[in-house]
């Protein structure tokens, strides 16, 4: 399986002079424009905060809008719209995918890396109080601890390909692809539990039990 960067670059390579939009990146886009293959026309960074976008390095265009709000100003603008670890924080995931469809040019592609329900760490993160999950995160993954921690609701974040295809095709997308994958680093500090988790994840992957998948690549064409 391709890593996220290689998978995204393979998509971008299909579009000569592509117009790219990265969602929710704020001041920290995932890539430099010259990391993209071929000759891209533009690399635009989105965020809900105008203040965040003012801190964006040179070389990027800006698009300030709420991904689950009104994106009409950017309709039919981009060839590739992508995100990673954004979708779980969006209050209305279906609205986000609808907006992405709107801002894509005909034939354009959306590509998202999402954490998925019903992996146990994300069920805990969704349903336990935010103060408690912040403490758990600091203990199990201190490198990932963020203050303040962004609430995660996991709206429309599923590893079940049929479920995601139904949502996206219902919004007009075609050629929908959902690739689930398994395992989670939150168990690394608990050796016995980590060993059991790895064994179970291999079993779930081999049997296609996507209900227990932890993440997924979601790709869909307009």
- Note whether 91 and 61 are within 8 A (CB): no
d(CA 213, CA 179): 10
The mean of the pLDDT values for the chain is 87
Query: What are the tens digits of pLDDT across the range 120-164?
Result: 777 776 766 555 445 545 545 555 545 454 678 999 999 999 999
d(CA 197, CA 120): 11
pLDDT given at position 142: 54
- Note whether 85 and 154 are within 8 A (CB): no
Query: What are the tens digits of pLDDT across the range 164-186?
Result: 999 999 999 999 999 998 877 66
- The average pLDDT across 15-41 equals 95
Label residue 87 by pLDDT band (50, 70, 90). very high
pLDDT given at position 150: 65
Domains by residue range for the chain, with CATH: 4-221 (3.40.50.150)
pLDDT given at position 48: 94
- The average pLDDT across 67-79 equals 94
- Which of 77, 67, 71 is closest to 156 using CA atoms? 67
Report pTM: 0.86
d(CA 54, CA 57): 8
Decide which of 68 and 187 is more confident.
Answer: 68
Instruction: State both tokens at 177.
Output: 């692809």
């Amino acid at each position: 399986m391709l890593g996220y960067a290689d998978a995204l670059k393979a998509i971008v390579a299909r579009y000569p002079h592509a117009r790219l939009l990265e969602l929710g990146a704020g001041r920290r886009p995932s890539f430099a424009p010259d990391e993209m293959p071929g000759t891209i026309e533009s690399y635009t960074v989105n965020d809900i905060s105008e203040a965040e976008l003012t801190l964006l390095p040179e070389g990027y265009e800006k698009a300030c809008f709420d991904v689950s709000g009104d994106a009409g100003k950017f309709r039919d603008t981009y060839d590739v719209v992508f995100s990673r670890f954004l979708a779980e924080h969006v209050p209305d995931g279906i609205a986000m995918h609808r907006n992405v469809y709107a801002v894509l040019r005909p034939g354009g592609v959306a590509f998202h890396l999402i954490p998925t329900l019903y992996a146990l760490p994300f069920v805990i993160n969704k349903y336990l109080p935010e103060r408690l999950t912040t403490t758990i995160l600091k203990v199990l993954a201190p490198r990932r601890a963020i203050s303040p921690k962004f609430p995660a609701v996991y709206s429309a974040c599923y590893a079940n390909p049929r479920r995601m295809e139904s949502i996206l095709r219902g919004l007009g997308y075609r050629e929908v692809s959902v690739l689930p994958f398994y395992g989670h680093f939150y168990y690394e500090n608990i050796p016995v539990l980590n060993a059991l988790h790895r064994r179970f994840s291999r079993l779930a992957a081999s049997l296609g039990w996507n209900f227990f998948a932890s993440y997924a690549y979601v790709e869909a064409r307009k």
